[in-house]
Amino acid sequence: MTDLLFTIYPWVKALHIMAVISWMAGLFYLPRLFVYHVEKAQTVDSAQEIFFEMEEKLLRVIMGPASVVAWVCGLIMVFTPGIVSWDFVWPWTKGAAVIGMTWFHHWLMARRKDFVAGRNTLTGRQYRMMNEVPTVLMVIIVLSVVLKF
């Protein structure tokens, strides 16, 4: 099994990077869609339905699969012997930030359900502020992995 993990490691790492890029793109874009949904949907006929469709497809077609692939590939790399040294702080900070990113993804899904049910209470400004969450988590993850402190 160890030989297989070493053999596929470069492919798993490449797939992990591609999945994370796709997931992050969605995590950056969906709050921005929510900003426009709050601020513009009422001013244009049928815009509400367009926003619903864009948000739903972003979550279901891009973000959902990308997050699953990122998690699976990340776990494969974690279980590949010699890749992660748990004696350092970096795997713990990266892991905490990835869990935070997953929480944020689920928070965004809950906000979309609020929009669909007509229960959204957040403003465009609040969604703009929440749009910074994935940036902070990305900085923590990249610094953790590159600097390996």
Rounded distance between C-alpha atoms, residue 136 and residue 42, angstroms: 31
50 pLDDT higher than 90: yes
Please, what sign has the CA dihedral across residues 90, 91, 97, 100? negative
Percent of the chain's residues with pLDDT above 70: 100
Distances (CA, A) of 64 to 17, 71, 110: 15, 11, 14
Mean pLDDT of 3-23: 95
Percent of the chain's residues with pLDDT above 90: 89
- By three-state DSSP, how is residue 92 classified? helix
Q: What is the number of alpha carbons within 13 Å of residue 19 lying toward its C-beta?
A: 17
Residue 42: per-residue pLDDT: 81
pTM above 0.75, yes or no: yes
- The confidence band for 43, taking pLDDT boundaries of 50, 70 and 90, is confident
Q: What is the pLDDT of residues 81-95, one digit of tens each?
A: 999 999 999 999 999
User: What residue type is assigned to position 85 of the chain?
Assistant: S
Rounded distance between C-alpha atoms, residue 53 and residue 41, angstroms: 13
Mean pLDDT of 12-28: 98
Rounded distance between C-alpha atoms, residue 126 and residue 75, angstroms: 33
